[in-house]
Chain A
Amino acid sequence: MNDVYRRWRLALLVVWALLGLLVVLFAGFLVYRRF
């Protein structure tokens, strides 16, 4: 299928992945600080 939004979706995926990583790292940091 010719996906006309492929570039945008790829960009979004990359940004979301970085965002998810950031959330996980932040959560890990909070746990580390708590204990």
Chain B
Amino acid sequence: MSSPMGRKRPHQYYTYITTQDDPNYWWIAGWILAFPFVVVINAVWQAGTAAVAYTSGVTAGLGFGANPEPLPARRPVEGLGEPAYTQYLFGQAWRDVTHTVAVALRNQQDAIKVEFGRVAKLHFHTPQDESAAGRRNVIKGMALVAGGALGFLVADLLVVVTLLAQAALMGLLWVGGIVVIYTLRGADSALLLIRGIRITCPHCYCHVPYPGYRCSECPALHRDIRPGRFGMLHRICRCGMRLPTLLMLGSHRLQAVCPSCDQDLEESAGHAPEVVLPVFGATVAGKTQLLAAVTLAAEAVLSRSGGTVEASDEYARAWYRQVHDIRKRGTRVTKTPVTPQPGIALTLRTASATRHLKMFDAAGERFRSTNRVQELAYLRRREDRPVIVFVVDPLSIPKLWESLGEEQRRALEPMRAATSPMSVFEGTVPALHGMRAETEKARVAVVVTKADLIEEQIKAARVGANDSIRDWLAGPLEQGNLVRAIGHEFHSARYFLTDARLDQPAVSPSVETFVKWLLAERKVRL
């Protein structure tokens, strides 16, 4: 039938008023009554679905679950800053929060789309669509849509609250992390202070406030390994190796590096207190010979009490071999070059203590010039009661030299130091003042060497231990000025008379006495 207005399709009129006679009457009435229940049940269901979608999104965003999509960690850039991954809380955590929320919200959106698509397809399809014919229920569909919307709204409210709680937790963790970092740093520093641990570089002689460390797997150098934004208890090197951040956690097992000169420090640097032993004295006074004898004496003294002496680095190992070789062959040590020499680092272990003995030798020529003395930074030490060794060649004391016979003088001439002890002292001490060394706090060990060459004179003067050596020097040998100057300049002085021959079956007890005094000064019980 065509309409008067020329429309091709007729008007269709629908009515929603039905009577009890209508077969749909009770069906429609039933669904209208069920409407609120469907809304509530679907709201709860969809809230649960949304929560699960959010949770699975967070799980995936953090790299877990069936479809993990973690945010890749930012690799440390080579040559730029520390070669370590930033600690999780100080970078990656915040990126992860935004990433997981993005993944979780995307998951939720997908869940919403699926749910509303399913309801639309089932209940709001056009009459022409026959795919879900017979199951179309507009009332139920409306209830499902309302319930879904309500459920997602409730779920998202919970998600917002959870997100705020998560962010607050992250903030708390971040603050906690900072507290932990500074507590650990403080504890480590306190422990070093209590144990009296200081590090002196054997190469550049500088005091090392805290060493850098090489990674045990790759050549990366970690300049500041202590707890910080790269790790609290551990840090992860760019190669993936976990490295301890504190000496008390085992960073001493890594190769320590001097931050000033970038050279390797001794093994286990910072693990035990140091015994720094700098020597000064004239050329050919017997400084190197004394240090070689000290090495053997330390070995003898410690082995008797069950302890050991080990070389702590390659240079010390070479020195150690050389000393034992000299002992076997019965030769003498060679002249120390004028160029600065690395310190000899030995590890002394007793049953109750470990000490890093660092012996610093220098050619006697250095002690003639203030500038050259001042290059020896190890003389400027700030530790408690530092020890400094003044090596005195008795042959260079005119009074003793003159008391020797003509033939003996001729025989000993090549072994005699050309510079008198007073000249060396006068050349060195002003240099120490110039470099602001706290000489008034230092203990000086005045070691009179070559006792084996002047046995007769020693016997005649009845020289024995500490005081008698000082009196012998101040009295018969007319070195009163030197003895008084030593007493005036240093906190205290202790006098030793040593026979540092290396070719004897056993090291002289005189050197052992010196070593025992040194260890006692550094609180090592034998």
Contact = CB atoms under 8 A, between A and B. Distances in A.
Contacts of B51: 20, 24
Interface residues of B, number: 24
A6 B165 CA distance: 22
A3 B96 CA distance: 13
Q: How would you classify the secondary structure of chain B's contact residues: helix, strand, loop or mixed?
A: helix
Interface in B85-134: 85, 88-89, 92-93, 96
A8 B63 contact: no
A10 B161 CA distance: 21
Contact of A9 (B70, B72, B158, B169): B70
Contacts of B93: 8, 12
A9 B89 CA distance: 10
Contact of B236 (A4, A16, A17): A4
Interface stretch (B54-62, B325-333, B406-414, B458-466): B54-62
B73 A19 contact: no
Interface in B46-91: 51, 55, 58-59, 62-64, 70, 72-73, 85, 88-89
A25 to B, nearest CB: 11
Interface in A1-31: 1-6, 8-10, 12-13, 15-17, 19-20, 22-24, 27
A20 B162 contact: yes
B232 to A, nearest CB: 11
B43 to A, nearest CB: 12
A16 B169 CA distance: 9
Contacts of A24: 51, 158
B24 interface: no
A17 B52 CA distance: 11
B88 A5 contact: yes
B73 A4 contact: yes
Contacts of A12: 62, 93, 96
A2 B240 contact: yes
Contacts of A17: 55
B322 interface: no
Among A2, A22, A24, max chain B CB count under 10 A is at A24
Among B51, B64, B88, B169, max chain A CB count under 10 A is at B88
Contact of A13 (B62, B158, B162): B62
Contacts of A1: 70, 72
Among A1, A3, A9, A17, max chain B CB count under 10 A is at A9
Interface in B150-185: 158, 161-162, 165-166, 169
Contacts of A8: 88-89, 92-93
28 contacts: A2-B240, A4-B73, A4-B85, A4-B236, A5-B92, A5-B96, A6-B63, A8-B88, A8-B89, A8-B92, A9-B63, A9-B64, A9-B96, A10-B64, A12-B93, A13-B64, A16-B58, A17-B55, A19-B162, A19-B165, A19-B169, A20-B55, A20-B162, A22-B165, A23-B161, A23-B162, A27-B158, A27-B161
Closest 6 CB pairs of A and B: A8-B88, A9-B62, A23-B162, A20-B162, A4-B236, A5-B88
Interface of B: 51, 55, 58-59, 62-64, 70, 72-73, 85, 88-89, 92-93, 96, 158, 161-162, 165-166, 169, 236, 240
